[in-house]
Amino acid sequence: MPIRLSNRYLRRTTATVAASFTALAGLGLALPASAHAAPGCTTLSATVANSAGNPGGHVQATLCSSSSAPYSWSLNESYYNFVQDYQADGVAARAYIQSTGSINGPLAVDDTSTAGGADLGSWESTNTGTWVRVYVCLGTKYPGSTGARCASDYASA
């Protein structure tokens, strides 16, 4: 037998859910980066494998570009941007961001495989460009250096 819900019940439930989200937004609570990014923003993520081929570290960052050229990029701090180490093996996961040539970082380091990882904090590009890339690297090697174990994700304006 199908369940029938009254229009009054549906209106009340919808209003309650909408009010809850409005209240959370009013408190300034950050949304997870997996939520839909705002217009002009994109969520990038990458996972790097350790020497055994298992997931070793992960980075997730929501980056926004200015609406017109010349484009500048910044982390959207309304989202949780993080780097996380997956293995408690003494090899840290480090996060870097590159925009038009210059690599910045590490922005954060996580070496404990703790829940949630390490927050990337704030970042704004110091130069303008049409693309941005986030990296997660294991160990102390910089992206692009010989022997670096890194993974990355890319977006363009």
Instruction: Work out the number of other CB atoms within 10 angstroms of the CB of residue 129.
Output: 19
How do strand 149-156 and strand 102-110 relate by DSSP bridges?
unpaired
Nearest CA to 96 out of 75, 80, 72, 114 is that of 75
Task: Please state, in angstroms and rounded to a whole number, the distance separating the CA atoms of residues 145 and 124.
Answer: 23
Please identify which residue in the block is written with the tokens 């020497």.
Answer: 51
What is the pTM assigned to this prediction?
A: 0.74
Residue that wins the pLDDT comparison between 115 and 150: 150
Q: What is the percent of the chain with per-residue pLDDT over 70, rounded to a whole number?
A: 74
pLDDT tens for each residue of 82-123: 999 998 888 999 999 999 878 999 999 999 866 779 999 999
In this prediction, residues 32-38 reach a mean pLDDT of 51
Interacting residues of 113 by C-beta distance below 8 A, sequence separation 6+: 84, 85, 86, 87, 88
Domain boundaries, the chain: 30-156
Instruction: Work out the number of other CB atoms within 10 angstroms of the CB of residue 141.
Output: 14
Distance of alpha carbon 83 from the chain centroid? 8
What rounded mean pLDDT belongs to the chain? 81
Task: Please state, in angstroms and rounded to a whole number, the distance separating the CA atoms of residues 75 and 81.
Answer: 8
Report in angstroms the alpha-carbon separations of 47 from 12, 28, 56, 64, 152.
Answer: 43, 29, 7, 21, 8
Side-chain-side CA neighbours of 102 within 13 Å: the count stands at: 11
Q: Which helix (H) or strand (E) holds 10?
A: helix 7-26
β-bridge partners, 136: 95, 151
Residue that wins the pLDDT comparison between 25 and 73: 73
Q: Examine the pLDDT at 16 and tell me if it is beyond 50.
A: no
